Structure 1
Amino acid sequence: MRTSTIRPAGPVVTGAAVVAALTLSACTTARADRTTPDPAPVTATASAPEAPPVTAQELALLAAAEDALVRECAADHGVHLPQPAAASGPERAADPADVRAFPFVVDSPGWAAEHGYGSDLDAEREGARTSDPTRTYLQSLPAGRRTAALDVLNGGPDDPALRAKLPVGTSIGRSATSCTSRAQDALYGDAAQWFQASAATGNLEPLWTGRVLADQRYADAVGPWSDCMSRRGHDVATPRDARQAAYGTPDESATASDEAACATTTGLAAVVADLTTEHESRVCQEFRADVESRRALEHAALGRAREITAELTPEQIAAGARTRGAPPCEES
């Protein structure tokens, strides 16, 4: 049996699978009033080759290891969290059938015919979230005990804070003595570096998404797509208009299928693919230090993660895939 490796002295914060269940109260992950200096991004040395992105399986392994460490830490504080449910179906973060794969226009006729704009998948994910064992456990506690448990899991407002600078220029903070921070320190070797690298890279996608939408070439390609949709009976100016009009309605699948067909025949899908590659590459290069830091920390942690999860079943490890999205900048 593995011996305990984390012993925080104060309140704690959740991590990994636990974090999804903690929408019961506000977390302390966006504090900007602490005095801890912003960490500088960790850069790769000139002699060290750049690490590739971790695989989806490795990402799940890291998430499961962090989750195990957080649960161990919480138990040390008298909060005995249930194990996460085994991962299956569209609630898994690594599942390719995800509407987030189409941030600009649905361009897969087969996917559109089956899922429309993804309202069915969203409903299944919401069902999995609301039935999460940790969420259910916390909701079942009497008010006083639930407050105490959430205090343990979320940390206290007076805790010393880790800080990270986001790509948009703002900074966020999180308790440095939380179980999340303690677990990440044990897993990655430096909680402050991991917080900076993961927070920065986790917020890169909105940057390149916004740049694609603001690109005149995208606007120029949307015009013919809108004309195509009009000929099919949809009076919409943009793909967002189409999604907002049809999402969750009986017409969802038909509208999404028309959207995908028009995206292909008018060339919008090809333009979106080219612009996404262009802007994603630029953003990833702009924040190359954070990307390389994250990759290096993840690869260095894999050995520890395998040791920590040695007693877990493949299903328990796979459950970790729900808690994190794909690694950022996979192709750069």
Structure 2
Amino acid sequence: MHRWTLALLTAGLLATTATACAGTTTPPGASASGTPRPAGGPAETLRLAEQLLIRTCMEKEGHKYWIEPPVPQDVSARFPYVVDDPAWARAHGYGTDLRREREAQVHSDPNQRYFHSVPAGTRAVLVSDLNGARPQGLSARLPNGIRVSHSDQGCQATAERQLYGDLQAWFRATRVTDSLAGMRVGLVTADKRYKAAVTVWARCMRERTYRYADPARARAAATLPKTPWPHDKEVRLASAEAACAVSSGLSSVAGSLDSEYRDRLRREHPRETADLARLKREALPRARAIVARGD
């Protein structure tokens, strides 16, 4: 999701349901022409190519658009079950320091500043030109039975169509596989093997004076209060959680179960899983050419 679309969502304008650079310096990871170089592998090449196509489309519509950098993983994506990296916990606790940094970056983002600099009526046009006027044209039914839809018009759809070819297949594959990730976490945390490991983890935490029944409650205690915890207090709790995750075996159990349910869900939804892999594979040569041209 583009950072500036967060503001559009807040404004209630984003058309979806259920679901050239300014300045004179070259940003990190960019070429002398101002086009960022892909710093990672195929996934980053695909992401950057899509951004370049969106920029070209938006500029044709008369708007300014800056390439969005990758959005870093938050703690829930990095550690969906339990913080189990002691070094990371010692540095970041539960990542509230990183979250504040991301929030500051959003406020200083050139697309965000541009969005707020134009008249209200132009903002609505920006949303429509990026996402399409109405959430119609693309549709997919998720494994939980919910149907989601999105516009097949606008620069986002145009970029995805140019990159992946079959826009409807891309929409269905991405929405379904994204939903499988949430399902997988639910299956793991409901598994009796996970619950047994959590019991051992909680015993370890009590020995360190922390009385939390599971990692989710520990994380909530540190990250949800209206008054933020001091960083050192957050780090102490997260460090205890990580140490107990390793010593209790919870980290190993969660990882094993995650792989088990990932494979099971892929077998249960072979079409979308295969389509996603195929569409990415076929798009990669196009993405490399787009990035090489810088358009």
Taking structure 2 as the reference length, the TM-score comes to: 0.82
Tell me by how many angstroms 1:18 deviates. Answer: 6.6
Please name the residue that 2:127 is paired with: 150
Question: Equivalents in 2 of 1:222, 1:211: separation in Å?
Answer: 15
Question: Equivalents in 2 of 1:67, 1:20: separation in Å?
Answer: 17
1:24 and 1:185, CA in 2 relative to 1: closer, same or farther beyond 3 A? same
- Any residues of structure 2 matched to 1:13-32 within 5 Å, and which? 19=5, 22-26=8-12, 27-30=14-17
1:106 is aligned, of 62, 80, 83, to 83
Question: Equivalents in 2 of 1:99, 1:160: separation in Å?
Answer: 31
Please name the residue that 1:205 is paired with: 181
Residue pair 2:131, 2:157 contacting (<8 A) in 1 also? no
Question: Equivalents in 2 of 1:171, 1:59: separation in Å?
Answer: 27
Task: Between the two structures, name the one with larger relative contact order (CA 8 Å, sep ≥ 6).
Answer: 1
Question: Equivalents in 1 of 2:139, 2:64: separation in Å?
Answer: 28
Does residue 276 of the first structure (1) align with residue 263 of the second (2)?
Answer: no
2:243 is aligned, of 245, 261, 270, to 261
User: Matched residue of 2:149: which SS?
Assistant: strand
Does residue 59 of the first structure (1) align with residue 43 of the second (2)?
Answer: yes
Question: Equivalents in 2 of 1:18, 1:68: separation in Å?
Answer: 16
Counterpart code for 1:30: T
User: Matched residue of 1:105: which SS?
Assistant: coil
Please name the residue that 2:280 is paired with: 298
Question: Equivalents in 1 of 2:179, 2:245: separation in Å?
Answer: 27
Question: Equivalents in 2 of 1:111, 1:211: separation in Å?
Answer: 26
Residue pair 1:225, 1:266 contacting (<8 A) in 2 also? yes
Does residue 76 of the first structure (1) align with residue 60 of the second (2)?
Answer: yes
Q: Percent identity?
A: 36
Counterpart code for 2:166: D
Tell me by how many angstroms 1:23 deviates. Answer: 3.4
Question: Equivalents in 2 of 1:223, 1:147: separation in Å?
Answer: 51
Question: Equivalents in 2 of 1:199, 1:21: separation in Å?
Answer: 22
Does residue 139 of the first structure (1) align with residue 119 of the second (2)?
Answer: no
Counterpart code for 2:115: L
Does residue 218 of the first structure (1) align with residue 202 of the second (2)?
Answer: no
Tell me by how many angstroms 1:277 deviates. Answer: 1.6
Counterpart code for 2:204: C
Please list every run of 5 or more consecutive structure 2 residues that lacks an aligned counterpart in the other structure.
20-38
Tell me by how many angstroms 1:31 deviates. Answer: 6.1
Taking structure 1 as the reference length, the TM-score comes to: 0.74
Deviations along 1:279-331, one digit per CA (max 9) or x if unpaired, are: 12111221222111111111111111122122339xxxxxxxxxxxxxxxxxx
Please name the residue that 1:327 is paired with: none
Deviations along 1:193-241, one digit per CA (max 9) or x if unpaired, are: 1111111112221011000111111112211211221121112111111
Tell me by how many angstroms 1:21 deviates. Answer: 6.2
2:163 is aligned, of 180, 187, 195, to 187
Does residue 239 of the first structure (1) align with residue 218 of the second (2)?
Answer: no
1:209 and 1:182, CA in 2 relative to 1: closer, same or farther beyond 3 A? same
Residue pair 1:66, 1:187 contacting (<8 A) in 2 also? yes
**Superposition CA RMSD, Å:** 2.5
Please list every run of 5 or more consecutive structure 1 residues that lacks an aligned counterpart in the other structure.
1-14, 33-54, 314-332
Number of matched residues? 269
> Bigger CA drift: 116-125 or 251-260?
116-125
User: Matched residue of 2:9: which SS?
Assistant: coil
